[in-house]
Amino acid sequence: MKKVFMFVNVDWFFLSHRLPIAKAAVANNIEMIVYTDFTKDHEATFNDLFEIHQSPLRRASKSLLHLIFEIFSSFLIIIKGKPDLIHAVTIKPILILGVVARLTSTPFVGAISGLGPAFVGDTYLRKLRLKIIIFVFKFVFGSKKASVICQSVSDRDTLISVGVTSIEKVFLINGSGVDVDLYSPDKKLHNHKPYVLMASRMLGDKGVREFCMAAKIVYERLGHRFRFKLSGPVDSESPTFISNLDLIKLCKESGVEYLGNRTDMPELIASAVIFVLPSYYSEGVPKVLLEASACGVAIVTTDHPGCRDAIISDETGILVKPRDPAGLAKAVLELLEDEEKLRKMGENGRKLALSNYRESKVVRQHYALYWSKIT
């Protein structure tokens, strides 16, 4: 068996976006060892399928000294473990493990799950940070043994345009895939008031405020025939997070019901009449949009990299301009007032998920890439 070390920034992201890949390791003759920042203990959870350990990388480094310690610890793990391939997911693991891989001549796959805030250069310090990231990326992906996975055409084109890599080294995989049996129209619950749903982390640039403002506009037009519901965790480690107090105030003013972080997402999404994600975050392909499609729910999302890659405009959903509550409300109203269009978009979304976004397809693509690097 060949040995693959996977580094992911935080455990909840690994569990929601990369767990199926790790679970398939033994079946693909791979010994998988996952390193991620624990928010709770997982050590004994997956022993029969793969190993999982606390990563030397924290999601946010406390100081330069701490960052140096993380780099040194990562280097020791690779020297001692001698993996046949390193798979790093998200920017920080790619930067650190990519350098370690280059220095140790270890085959490397870096998975970009959206370029994120790191690629926003709107201040002097952010521009400097971006230059450093691009410089390190060029070093990492300049190796013949390194490849990059992108989820969106926009991210791929950005990396190529700044000279990080060439098109031959980029593998385009459309998102993290979705379990089309778990996320299905069959999960729909009945006997409840129809609602429009947004589910994401509670971040400003995910469009939470725009969703609430649009809800207020729709309520003024239609009354409360349809409810607006918001679900997801508060992520205080993200720079654009919305605090609990601000969230409560925002929802109270707009009439949106905040559900918190739910564990019944298949039922919650499938039971919605419309799923909304008004994001202008630097997304990959948002998995929640794939889940909504698989559930047969019409989508309203932004004409923004990643989001627009997840739907077929005017067939499985409607694209609106980012940061435009009025345009968002107009699109939602258009669907709420046209039941046939709503039904047809949901059906088309389910077909799209079945043909393009099956989790099993994404897993196969990853293992094909692994074996191409280590044989």
Q: Range with the lowest mean pLDDT among 118-122, 261-265, 335-339?
A: 118-122
Residue 87 pairs with which residues in a beta bridge?
Answer: 6, 109
Of 192 and 268, the structure prediction assigns the larger pLDDT to 268
Residue 290 has pLDDT above 70, yes or no: yes
User: What's the confidence (pLDDT) of residue 116?
Assistant: 67
For residue 125, what is the enclosing H or E element? helix 124-141
User: What's the confidence (pLDDT) of residue 117?
Assistant: 67
| Amino acid in position 205 | D
Cα separation values, 8 from 5, 59, 93, Å: 10, 9, 7
Residue 8 has pLDDT above 90, yes or no: yes
Q: Computed from CA positions of residues 65, 106, 22, 77, in that sequence, does the dihedral angle turn out positive or negative? A: negative
Distance CA 189, CA 103 (A): 54
Residue 371 has pLDDT above 80, yes or no: yes
The per-residue pLDDT of the chain, averaged, comes to 93
Distance CA 45, CA 51 (A): 9
Q: Read off φ and ψ for residue 135, nearest 5 degrees.
A: -60, -45
Q: How far from chain centre, in Å, is Cα 278?
A: 14
Task: Name residue, tokens 């099956």.
Answer: 358
Instruction: Cite the residue boundaries of each domain of the chain with CATH code 3.40.50.2000.
Output: 2-177+358-374, 185-356
Of 124 and 135, the structure prediction assigns the larger pLDDT to 135
Residue 298 has a CB neighbour count (10 Å cut-off) of 29
User: What's the confidence (pLDDT) of residue 237?
Assistant: 83
Residue 227 has pLDDT above 70, yes or no: yes
pLDDT in tens, 314-326: 999 999 999 999 9
Q: Which CATH architecture has domain 185-356?
A: 3-Layer(aba) Sandwich (3.40)
User: What's the confidence (pLDDT) of residue 284?
Assistant: 84
Residue 113 has pLDDT above 90, yes or no: no
Cα separation values, 210 from 228, 243, 264, 321, Å: 12, 16, 24, 11
> From the DSSP assignment, how many helices (H) and strands (E) are in the chain?
13, 13
Residues whose CB falls within 8 Å of the CB of residue 322, separated by 6 or more in sequence, listed in order? 207, 278, 279, 280, 302, 303, 304
User: What's the confidence (pLDDT) of residue 175?
Assistant: 83
Distance CA 294, CA 277 (A): 15
354 pLDDT band, cuts 50/70/90, is very high
Distance CA 155, CA 88 (A): 17
| Angle made by CA atoms 324, 300, 297, in degrees to the nearest 5 | 160
pLDDT in tens, 57-87: 988 777 889 999 999 999 999 999 999 999 9
Whether the predicted model's global pTM rises above the 0.85 cut: yes
* 350: helix, strand or coil: helix
Q: Taking residues 208-219, what's their average pLDDT? A: 97
DSSP string computed for 57-115: --SS-SSHHHHHHHHHHHHHHHHHH--SEEEEESHHHHHHHHHHHHHHT--EEEEES--
pLDDT in tens, 132-147: 999 999 999 999 999 9
Residue 259 has pLDDT above 80, yes or no: yes
Spell out the CATH class of 2-177+358-374.
alpha beta
pLDDT in tens, 22-65: 999 999 999 999 999 998 888 777 878 999 999 999 887 778 89
Residue 34 pairs with which residues in a beta bridge?
Answer: 6, 52
User: What's the confidence (pLDDT) of residue 60?
Assistant: 77
- Here the tokens at position 42 are 């997982």
User: What's the confidence (pLDDT) of residue 10?
Assistant: 93
User: What's the confidence (pLDDT) of residue 25?
Assistant: 96
Residue 310 has pLDDT above 70, yes or no: yes
Residue 125 has pLDDT above 80, yes or no: yes
- Here the tokens at position 64 are 């330069």
User: What's the confidence (pLDDT) of residue 121?
Assistant: 63
Q: DSSP class of residue 22? A: H
